Amino acid sequence: MKPILMFYLDDCGYCHKAHRAMDELFEENPAYRALEITKVEESRQPELADRYDYYAVPTFYVAGEKLFEAHIGMSYEDIKAEVRRVLDAALL
């Protein structure tokens, strides 16, 4: 398994969708629960966030590689599919 690093903001609607998607995906596939996921609220840890190359949140890195960065207009279904892809990549 590979570690996941997630950057988010508390007041971000897309981040709320990503958190909801993660909760649903953990129910759908209990193997995801074993993954090491570090969640970083970027306004609370700007020194860590500044070390990574991303523009929007939520953004997910798997083993140091950026696999998903949200963009304007994403639906919940789009975000859930991307979060599933991130979780699957971390399982390998």
- Tens digits of residue pLDDT in 50-92: 999 999 999 999 999 999 999 999 999 999 999 999 999 999 8
Please tell me the pTM assigned to this model: 0.95
Measuring CA to CA, which residue among 90, 89, 88, 73 is closest to residue 17? 73
Domain extent listing, the chain:
4-91
In the structure encoding, which two tokens stand for residue 43, read together?
């306004």
Cα-trace Rg, the chain? 12
Assigned superfamily of 4-91: Glutaredoxin (3.40.30.10)
Q: pLDDT per residue over 10-38, tens digit each?
A: 999 999 999 999 999 999 999 999 999 99
- The torsion angles phi and psi of 12, rounded to 5 degrees, stand at -100, 120
Token digits of residue 45: 């840890």
